Amino acid sequence: MKKALLTALIGMSALAGYAQNATYDNVTINSTFTKSGGAGSIFGWGEANNNTFDPRPNWRPDALTYMINHHTGLTLSAHSVYGGIRFYNQGYPSVYDPANGARLVMSITNNNVGIGTSSPTTALDVRGIISTPEIAFRNADGSDDSDPYRLRKVRSSANQNWLELQLNDDADESFRIYGNSCAGFGCGDYSQNLYHSFDALGNVYHRGNVGIGTATPDAKLAVNGTIHTREVRVDTQNFPDFVFKPSYSLPSLKEVKNYIDQKGHLPGMPSEAEAIKEGMNLGEMNKKLLQKVEELTLYLIEKDKQINRMSKRLTNLENKRSTSKK
């Protein structure tokens, strides 16, 4: 009778432990029954104990770790409302106390996987550093993607490393950076918020200003230093060939001299102080310089006419003088 009662009490205790998902190392009913810790034992109480757990006890620091071994696969299931599935580095003696070394490693809840967080908000939410040699970006809609974009670190030799973004060879393939109005996968509809892009042909677009040698560029390209180039092309309008039109009023050299005496620089040109303060617009400056060259050409043409007239007069005077001597 006592044996039957003892067996019933043990069974009821096991069912209670299973219903509450609890783990019992010791059950005391007039005497103590200690979990054996053997290779075939169960950690806690559960159904189908020969298929559920195969723990290998780690009673000593140099012993084997616990193992879960099932030849036909392993299924872990826990309700997301109550925290989902979590993996910890165990603390000692308090298992979940961070002060004793416990640390959350990974969690699975609401169809999301979190590493370093118990509440992942995306399919993979990592709170820490990810170490990987390469990332492949595939189509989110599941369409054919036999040649995905790849971001990788490349090392050709010691101290020669670079970060490489591999695009496809199509002309319309590009890497783009949008503002925060680009939502979902319809980024092409937000072209007004495109900040930066470069395509597979090497074409680069940048929305704002670019600074080289300066962190505060005040123009589309601001260079604090020397530019070395084979050629500079400047778009321009109102080219100064109007100087050669009959309607152009060419100032006299006397007027130019009076202006220089008063201002200290040519008419229509910036002063030294203005050039130092504001800098020079190469396109505008080249037009002004060309205008002055064309004006100088007109002055030379006029002076050439005067010289020719004077030369003819001098020739006539010399002829008259020679005739009178005869």
- For residues 97 and 65, the model is more confident at 97
- For residues 139 and 293, the model is more confident at 293
pLDDT of 80: 73
Q: Which residues are CB-neighbours of 64 under 8 A, at least 6 positions away? A: 56, 57, 58
Write out the H or E segment, with its range, that includes residue 95: none
d(CA 270, CA 278): 10
Q: φ and ψ at 160, to 5 degrees?
A: -130, 90
pLDDT of 222: 93
Q: Mean pLDDT, the chain, as a whole number? A: 75
pLDDT of 44: 38
Model pTM? 0.50
pLDDT of 169: 63
> pLDDT tens for residues 77-101?
777 776 788 887 877 777 677 787 7
Helices (H) and strands (E) in the chain, counts: 5, 14
Q: Where do we find the tokens 């102080």?
A: 273
Pairs from 173-179 (Cβ < 8 Å, separation ≥ 24):
173/199, 173/200, 174/198, 174/199, 174/200, 175/149, 175/199
d(CA 122, CA 112): 6
Q: Where are the domains of the chain?
A: 1-75, 78-131, 240-325
On the CB side of 122, how many CA atoms lie within 13 Å of its CA?
Answer: 5
Residues in the chain: 326
> pLDDT tens for residues 1-46?
434 333 433 444 443 433 344 444 554 444 444 444 444 443 433 3
Q: Is the pLDDT of residue 271 over 80?
A: yes
Of the listed ranges 20-24, 166-170, 172-176, 243-247, the one predicted with least confidence: 20-24
pLDDT of 276: 92
Q: How confident is the model at residue 279 (pLDDT cuts 50, 70, 90)?
A: confident
DSSP percent split of the chain into helix, strand, coil, nearest 5: 30, 20, 50
Closest CA to 167 of 138, 131, 144, 199: 199
pLDDT of 229: 92
